[in-house]
């Protein structure tokens, strides 16, 4: 459990790091995904006092995948916000009589935000983030490169949390 909590902290930090780098540069950099896998794997190993094994590997891979895929969420929110802003600006460019007529039409009241709706929106965003690599595969070579970036990060976490292959067979009597 301690290893999972350490790995979760590293996954959150890695997701933030990857999101910031992606927002600033506009690119998903494979080295950052590998760094996220390294962070999660190292934190997991530290939390388990150096122990590893299949359970640790599976949890570290899941945390790394979660960190990398949820780092896409700020880009998704930013692009949706940009689309919303451009959608608002488009009627003003057209005929002014259309804008007046549209503004005179009765608008239904906007739904009031509640904690339940906010939680549902966050869960939907996380779900979209988790399936986004599979959705991106249809984008051609960019989607394949994205899948490889995720794979490199996951592979690093897998290797770091592997069980120690050394076997102690002693002490021997002399």
What confidence tens digit (pLDDT) does each residue in 17-48 have?
Answer: 988 888 888 777 778 888 888 999 899 888 88
Nearest to residue 99, comparing CAs of 89, 84, 109, 108?
Answer: 89
Report how far residue 80's alpha carbon sits from residue 107's, in angstroms, rounded to the nearest whole number: 22
Helical ranges in the chain per DSSP H = 2-25, 30-47, 54-70, 73-93, 96-104, 115-136, 141-160
pTM (two decimals): 0.67
Pull the structure tokens for residue 83: 């689309």
Residue found by looking up tokens 């939680």 in the block: 119
């Amino acid at each position: 459990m301690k290893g999972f909590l350490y790995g979760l902290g590293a996954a959150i930090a890695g997701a933030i790091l990857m999101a910031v780098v992606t927002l600033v540069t506009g690119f998903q950099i494979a080295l950052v995904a590998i760094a996220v896998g390294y962070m999660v794997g190292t934190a997991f190993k530290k939390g388990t006092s150096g122990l590893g094994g299949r359970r640790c590997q599976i949890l570290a891979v899941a945390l790394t995948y979660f960190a990398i895929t949820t780092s896409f969420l700020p880009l998704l929110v930013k692009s949706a916000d940009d689309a919303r802003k451009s959608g608002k600006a488009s009627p003003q460019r057209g005929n002014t009589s259309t804008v007046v007529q549209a503004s005179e039409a009765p608008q239904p009241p906007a739904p009031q935000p509640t904690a339940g709706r906010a939680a549902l929106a966050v869960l939907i965003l996380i779900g979209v983030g988790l399936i986004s690599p599979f959705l991106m595969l249809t984008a051609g070579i960019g989607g394949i490169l994205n899948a490889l970036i995720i794979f490199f990060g996951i592979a690093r976490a897998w290797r770091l949390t592997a069980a120690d292959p050394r076997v102690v067979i002693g002490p021997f009597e002399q």
